[in-house]
Chains A and B, each alone.
Chain A
Amino acid sequence: MKLAIGPLLYYWNREALLDFYGMVAASNADIVYLGEVVCSRRRGPRFEEWLALARELRAAGKEVVLSGQALIESEAELRALRRLAANGEFAVEANDASALALLADRTGFVAGPHINVYNGETLDWVAGLGAKRWVPPLELGREALRALQQTRPRGMQTEVFAWGRLPLAFSARCFTARHYDLPRDDCRFRCLDHPDGLLLATREDEPFLNLNGTQTQSARVHDLSAAIDELREIGVDILRLSPQSSHMGEIISAFRALADATADADETRRRLDAARQTGACNGYWYDKPGMEYHADG
């Protein structure tokens, strides 16, 4: 199984971003997704800078995919998506139906987790558009995935979100700005202050969700490290690890060891526990509420 570094969902400053991708280049991740999925107001790398970074990562032996934004509202955002779709050099991950419109009949795109593929008929249709890889919706559990793997279109790779806070919803409203009583159009880029999002707890102080600008995530980290054997057995090709601001190198090497079965599983999972910032969950894999953690499966 290959390891993919999912697109960075948070807003980091330039130095932190370049450090991170320097680490990734030297790691044994196989695939790297680059691009802004959440918010077009963020002043991250410009398109040409993402391309330059992509070329560096490719030179370091990585397969690079450029990720498109998940919720598109404006003509400016459509223009950015068109530029991405036409880049000609790197495959593109579609995270919105607008991207499907632009990528259809160009071969080799990725249907990302925010494209609703829940059944074989739709997977087949997406393959017909030219998708070479798909990432199931995060809610899709192992039984559904097992069934879909049995009828998957020839050549379609399956990538499963295996580590990270779950991107559960997108909104036109920015919840980070709202927390600071700022309108989205004058947000002052407050999400820069929260490299792993802003934790939201219940009134009895239980961590519940995580605010990341217009994206709402789980507070808990979805962690399929205990299900590696099953993932392999079902025929999953790629494990997606979603970036966090610390210990990412540890996480990559731990998953590499688990995927290759080259290290003690319990020891490796202890390493992952230390690297995780909040509690773990894996409920979705077992067709349970996503927030739950099931040890035995």
Chain B
Amino acid sequence: MSKPRIVALPYSIILIAAPSPAVKKPELVCPAGSLPALKTAFDHGADCVYAGLRDDTNARNFAGLNFDEAAAREGLRYAHAAGGKVLLAINTFPQPGGAKRWQRAVDFAADIGIDAVILADAGLMRYCAERHPSLRLHLSVQASATTYEAINFYRRRFGVSRAVLPRVLSLSQVEHVVRNAGTEIEVFGFGSLCVMVEGRCALSSYVTGESPNTRGACSPAKAVRWEQHPDALDVRLNGVLLDRYARDESAGYPTLCKGRFSVNDETYYAIEEPSSLNVLELLPDLMRIGVAAIKIEGRQRSPAYVADVTRVWRGAIDACARDASRFAVQPGWTNALARVSEGRQHTLGAYHRSWK
């Protein structure tokens, strides 16, 4: 904080507090599951988008989603014209003998002048660092790096310049990482919540044979079955009953950790309730801590979702940057986000210790 000005007046001295120094605004990183979503993200104020190619080289490998080479080029052109950046997620783990395909994705990204690639596999990071030393390398949340030791290790080995933190750290733990990491730190601010540490969850492959690491998928749609009964709606994933909804209950997408299960004769959301992470109220803290970027989850969501969420977060980040001490979450923001949230409810997730 800069020194207060002292104004001398007759018979009195008044100390005037200096205005707070300009806070560095974190980048708003929005999901782009398609070219329309990418465009709408920048139209509503995103600083960056993250996107994937149309295959299992990224962890949102869903039918109808993602970018072919032409769309990727167009998206990059649009982004740069808007003064924004595109980050390409190549964040799954190549299978044995399959690394060439991931390496080609990295080559393509470098060729078209992408702003950064987001990687998780160490072998692929080594390839990227050696072949494309000037290509910005971001450490994916899929690399499951939760400490500054891990992050700095990847920085030393591969020149990682930014790390995305898994959603398992409390606010003070995030602060500790930011203080000690030699890279920029990007954190999730909104969207569907993974309750397990990202990058090392095999629940989905236990049930369906496909996981984020191996196929870029979690609880894949092709394994989902809905069964209507007279009084209930059952949802199964590869035959396993994930939940049973009464008539007055609304059913969301059956992500397997968000079902209701029975433990010692109690039926409840034993692992996690369907809810969306929403850290709007923590924005002043996140900015104070020095987080470099805030990431919005939702590549599988519609362009309308991207528009709504980006608009809210752009407004919030700008308001907080103008005057963090006066920042307050506006009901309009909360309502807009609730409309697009899982389970229509919000949580601070692990940022808040009592969630753990």
Chain A residues engaging chain B, CB cutoff 8 angstroms: 70-75, 78, 81, 96-98, 100-102, 104, 114, 116, 118-126, 137-139, 144, 147-148, 166, 168-175, 178-179, 183-185, 198-206, 208-209, 211, 216, 218, 283-284, 287-291
Contacts and interface: CB of A to CB of B under 8 A. Distances in A.
A119 B93 contact: yes
Nearest to A210: B263
A181 B130 CA distance: 50
Nearest to B241: A202
A292 to B, nearest CB: 9
Given A125-B126, A203-B260, A283-B209, A118 B149 contact: no
B213 A139 contact: yes
B327 interface: no
B145 to A, nearest CB: 5
A169 B197 contact: yes
Interface in B77-98: 93-98
A138 B94 contact: no
B112 interface: no
Contacts of B154: 97
Interface string B138-176: 000001111101101110000000000000111001001
Contacts of B146: 71-73, 96, 98
B168 A202 contact: no
Contacts of B267: 203
Contacts of B120: 116
22 contacts: A72-B149, A73-B147, A74-B173, A97-B154, A98-B145, A98-B146, A98-B153, A101-B150, A114-B200, A116-B93, A118-B93, A119-B94, A119-B96, A121-B127, A137-B213, A168-B201, A173-B350, A178-B270, A184-B353, A202-B262, A216-B271, A288-B209
B211 interface: yes
A179 B266 CA distance: 9
Contacts of A101: 149-150, 152-153
A183 B354 CA distance: 6
Given A119-B99, A147-B97, A169 B201 contact: yes
Contacts of B259: 202
Task: Give the interface centre of A171, A175, A178, A201 by most chain B CB atoms within 10 Å.
Answer: A171
Contacts of A119: 93-99, 121, 123
Given A139-B211, A290-B206, A206 B270 contact: no
The CB with the most chain A CB atoms within 10 A, among B123, B208, B267, B350, is that of B123
A168 B263 contact: no
Closest 7 CB pairs of A and B: A121-B123, A101-B153, A172-B168, A97-B150, A122-B123, A169-B196, A290-B206
A78 B149 contact: yes
A203 B244 contact: yes
A216 B241 contact: no
Contact of A147 (B93, B96, B143, B238): B96
A211 B263 contact: yes
Given A97-B143, A124-B123, A203-B261, A173 B195 contact: yes
A80 to B, nearest CB: 12
A116 B197 contact: no
Interface in B203-255: 203, 205-209, 211, 213-214, 238, 240-244
Contacts of B149: 72, 78, 81, 97-98, 101-102
B205 A121 contact: no
B213 A171 contact: no
B101 to A, nearest CB: 11
A205 B200 CA distance: 27
A287 B93 contact: no
Contacts of B200: 70, 114, 116, 169-170
A116 B121 contact: yes
B325 interface: no
Contacts of A283: 206, 209
Contacts of B241: 202-204, 206
B205 to A, nearest CB: 5
B153 A201 contact: no
A2 to B, nearest CB: 24
A100 B147 CA distance: 12
Given A175-B271, A205-B262, A100 B121 contact: no
A246 to B, nearest CB: 20
Contacts of A218: 206
Contacts of B270: 175, 178-179, 200, 211
